[in-house]
Structure 1
Amino acid sequence: MSARPAARAALYLAGTGSALPGAPVDNARMAKAFGISEDWTDLFVGTRTRHFGWDLDSGEVLYGLADLCAEAAERALAAAGTDPGDLDFLVLATATPDTLLPTTANRVADLLGLDHLPTYQLQAGCSGAVQALDVGRALLAGGHRTGLVIGGDVTDRFLDARRGAVALPTQELINYVLFGDGAAAAVVSADPVGEAVAVRALLHRFTGLGRAAGQVVDWHGAAPPDPGRRMLFEDYKTIEAAVPAMAAEILWELLDTAGWTPADLDFLLPPQLSGRMTEQIVAGLGMPPGAREISCVRETGNTGNALPLLQLDRLMPGLEPGRRALSVTVESSKWIKAGLALEKVRPGEGQR
């Protein structure tokens, strides 16, 4: 009897790409625009720069979410060596679509010249990119061969350039220095092509039963706004208390599912709420000897759905065959655990 062949990964990342609008905006510029202390930002947030798709002086929108997502997608397709016409599906995750209808997913498909393929848009927070990869995995298992997964968010409807930020309560003020705009994308495949990074484990689980939301992102229609409703709210103290423990639980579950030990890890992609929070999480997890942290939030700000894919885009150049990485993501809006165990395939994997 011949030996049973090793199980193939159900999902491969063939290439990644990212897009950040305009020049980086540092804390000195934020202080000048909104009167927010540079020292306060450094101490409580720890983010040095972020990018905005809108003009800081006038509030004029210069880049929409669809623009950024299309740019990131084009770079991911180029990295994968994939022709847009070979895509079988598109999945986009965001908390801040340009419009409710048409969906931003369909606008991106139009910008990319795509037609006659299924498109999906997920309303999600920081775990959205992993959720979109999970949908992509299911679509590949159903017979599709190649797809495009995108995550992105923008802030133009939630941060008011004309508003005196210093008059805001801390739960709202922090959003002015916490968030930034951006998008990132990955070409996914049923076969180890392009960059050929195998997803050895994928975690996506809602764990918010009976728990208060840690973040609220509201949406106003034509009706007069209710002054009691907050457009963007962060319960930062609860998030700070809950996320490190959740991150550790995710890390150990991913290791167990993949059959790895901490010593097997070459890279760790920790949650990216803020620069300061990332420091706390990494310190609590304990970096395995020789493992390298892949973070971007200090330079990009919290870009929501883009962040896990932004980290992957930074990871790809240094991921050599056989090297392994864990991506850990926590969504605090209603508490979702998510993450990926990744391995760059060795030559010959998946060949028949």
Structure 2
Amino acid sequence: MRVAGLGAAVPQQRVSNHDLAERLDTSDAWIVGRTGIKARHIAGLGETTTSLAAEAGRRALADAGLAPAAVDLVLVATATPDTPCPSTSARVAADLGLRASGFDVNGACSGFVHAFHTAAALLADPSIGVALVIGADRFSSIVDPDDRGTAVLFGDGAGAAVLTRGEAIPGAPGVLGTDLGGDPSGVAILEVPRGGAYVAMDGPELFRRATRGLVASGSAALGRAGATAADVDLYVPHQANARIIGAAADRLGITEDRVVLDVAERANTSAASIPLALEAAQRAGRLRPGHRVLVSGIGAGLAWSTVYLRWDR
């Protein structure tokens, strides 16, 4: 398979650290020093998980040069659907005028890579030639705006990728190695508790486990591909915060110049973070044909998911 197009969408409203410091006991220096985050985009009236996902999908299709009618499958990774039923994928398909099957994947911050895995596998079905994979979350809907421990960390947004079937020949673009895993003993480290309305988080423990999970998963995917960190041209992990990304890259042995860091203006956008980072890297000219890209997500659960692939755009 190959990634034929990428798209991104974020809400209009930009909320800086200085804006948060006006009502919370925090500061720009404190937030930047601990997370690398300077601002985030927060959904306003009429900006929903569905609308953000649909816009990202629309832009990804335009980037791929494909009409909506070409799409056979829509997968949306989200932990913040607008409604429990029907799926966000169905609502996105309706907004885009698609006649395609689809379903949602709730893997929180690892959701996009889970959905990517799923779409790549389903492309082996001869009835599916084009899959639209979207990560979209409106975490502002489940974050307590008065909790400085979480309000500073999260933003809203959506990113999308168009996957198409390619020729299975040596040197062709596609998945080189994968890894899926998890540690359910950490389920309470980041969760919306039963009966609760907002996310609760054990920040220090999440930092430790997230870093370990990213390193273990990245190493496993590279090992299955017969590759090492030296073979990675670009590392695109979940954009939780700069310290986790830096620690994971350092332990993997991937130098800073090969790491995509996209948290400064977007913060942690959960399932949207990886496709947003990929789209930003593409715009910056950092993704080139033949590049070997390590994409790794980790999220609430704790669950992790990694894809090591050869790029062709």
What is the TM-score normalised by the length of structure 1?
Answer: 0.80
- Which residue pairs with 1:108 in the alignment? 92
- Which residue pairs with 2:286 in the alignment? 318
- Which residue pairs with 1:25 in the alignment? 15
Q: Report deviation, 1:145.
A: 0.8
Change (3 A) 1:233 1:160: closer
What is the distance in 2 between the residues matched to 1:286 and 1:311? Answer: 20
Q: Report deviation, 1:282.
A: 2.7
1:200 aligns with 2:181: no
- Which residue pairs with 1:70 in the alignment? 54
Q: Report deviation, 1:321.
A: 2.4
Query: What do residues 243-274 of structure 1 show as CA deviations (whole Å, max 9, x unaligned)?
Result: 22222212211111222222222111133211
Q: Return the letter of the residue paired with 1:344.
A: W
Q: Return the letter of the residue paired with 1:303.
A: T
Query: What do residues 2-58 of structure 1 show as CA deviations (whole Å, max 9, x unaligned)?
Result: xxxxxxxxx32111111111143210011124343333322333311110012xxxx
Whether the 8 Å contact between 1:88 and 1:147 is mirrored in structure 2 is yes
Whether the 8 Å contact between 1:145 and 1:191 is mirrored in structure 2 is no
Query: What do residues 163-199 of structure 1 show as CA deviations (whole Å, max 9, x unaligned)?
Result: xx2xx5xxxx32100000000001011126xxx9522
Change (3 A) 1:85 1:335: same
Q: Report deviation, 1:320.
A: 2.2
Q: What are the ranges of 5 or more consecutive residues in structure 1 without an aligned counterpart?
A: 1-10, 55-60, 220-225, 347-352
- Which residue pairs with 1:329 in the alignment? 297
- Computing the radius of gyration from Cα coordinates, the structure with the larger value is 1
Query: What do residues 70-101 of structure 1 show as CA deviations (whole Å, max 9, x unaligned)?
Result: 11001110111111101111011100001112
What is the TM-score normalised by the length of structure 2?
Answer: 0.90
What is the distance in 1 between the residues matched to 2:235 and 2:184? Answer: 28
- Which residue pairs with 1:300 in the alignment? 266
Q: Return the letter of the residue paired with 2:142.
A: F
Q: Percent identity, please.
A: 32
Matching of residues 272-283 of structure 1 within 5 Å? 272-283=239-250
1:214 aligns with 2:214: no
Whether the 8 Å contact between 2:36 and 2:263 is mirrored in structure 1 is no
Change (3 A) 1:197 1:16: farther
2:32 to 33, 42, 46: 42
Matching of residues 54-133 of structure 1 within 5 Å? 54=44, 61-115=45-99, 117-133=100-116
Q: Report deviation, 1:215.
A: 0.7
Q: Return the letter of the residue paired with 1:121.
A: D
2:133 to 138, 146, 149: 149
Change (3 A) 1:212 1:101: closer
Change (3 A) 1:211 1:175: closer
Q: Report deviation, 1:279.
A: 2.7
**Alignment RMSD:** 2.2
SS in 1 for 2:297: strand
Q: Report deviation, 1:138.
A: 2.5
Q: Report deviation, 1:153.
A: 0.4
What is the distance in 1 between the residues matched to 2:253 and 2:28? Answer: 29
Q: Report deviation, 1:125.
A: 0.7
The range that moved more, 69-78 or 233-242, is 233-242
What is the distance in 2 between the residues matched to 1:33 and 1:77? Answer: 40
